[in-house]
Amino acid sequence: ATEGVTRLPVYGKNRGDVVGVVDVRDAIRATETGDDLASALREPTFVPETQSIDELFERMRTDGFRLAVVVDEFGAVVGLVTLEDVIEEVVGELVGRWEHDHVDVVAPDAAVVRGWTTVGHLNEALGLSLPSDGVETVAGLITQRLGRLPEEGDRGAVEDVTLNLTGATATRVTRVRVEHSGGLESDESGEDERGTNGHGGDDDQFDDE
């Protein structure tokens, strides 16, 4: 209970024999009143280990149970899962998707994305038409055009879009500033993000020509 656990499984002769689920508060009350623990037991809900998180979440929401006993194809108990576990997985997946393809618009004509953002998502989010033949991500597109591993400070144009690499490791593009052909006003910070490794001044290195 000190770790925030409120529901616990109750076993019969062994751990594979789950006879019920008890709320810790009900168990405490039963102890205080001298009642048998069996009076506080609730029917256990068994779920197959093959059930998806989405399906289990919907069942928990619809049927109102917060702890499930997970069984394998032979009916043996392999674990327990709580509603909190399921919510953490669902929310974590949603956050992961958001972080993976998030487009951060930083000015009327500019946005910042991760290198692993997909070209398709970027096109959809900003109304662009960047080519994606043979590549999936923004980093892949830049690498394809350069013919080498990109470096922080690389900058060039693809179609009517300027891509400015503002973050990269030795093997991975981490941050790209995407600018529309109209560019930014002179008081914007794009000049500072070009980098100083010798590649920042070449604005046409990604071009098809």
pLDDT tens digits for range 125-136: 888 888 988 888
Name the region of 184 (left: φ>0; alpha: ψ -120 to 50; beta: rest): beta
Report the pLDDT value the prediction gives residue 184, as an integer from 0 to 100.
Answer: 29
pLDDT tens digits for range 4-53: 557 788 888 877 788 888 888 888 888 888 888 888 888 889 999 998 88
- Sign of the dihedral through C-alpha 64, 66, 72, 75: negative
Is the pLDDT at 91 greater than 60? The verdict is no
Quote the CA–CA distance of 110 and 81 in Å, as a whole number.
44
Question: Does the domain made of 102-193 have the CATH classification 3.30.465.10?
Answer: yes
Quote the CA–CA distance of 57 and 52 in Å, as a whole number.
9
> What CATH code would you report for 7-93?
3.10.580.10
**Which residue has 């920042």 as its token pair?**
200
Indicate the domain borders of the chain: 7-93, 102-193
Residue 89 pLDDT class (50, 70, 90 cuts):
confident
- Calculate the average pLDDT of the chain: 77
pTM over 0.85, yes/no: no
Quote the CA–CA distance of 171 and 135 in Å, as a whole number.
17
Quote the tokens at residue 174. 């981490």
Is the pLDDT at 98 greater than 90? The verdict is no
Among candidate residues 100, 92, 108, 109, the one with its CA nearest the CA of residue 174: 100
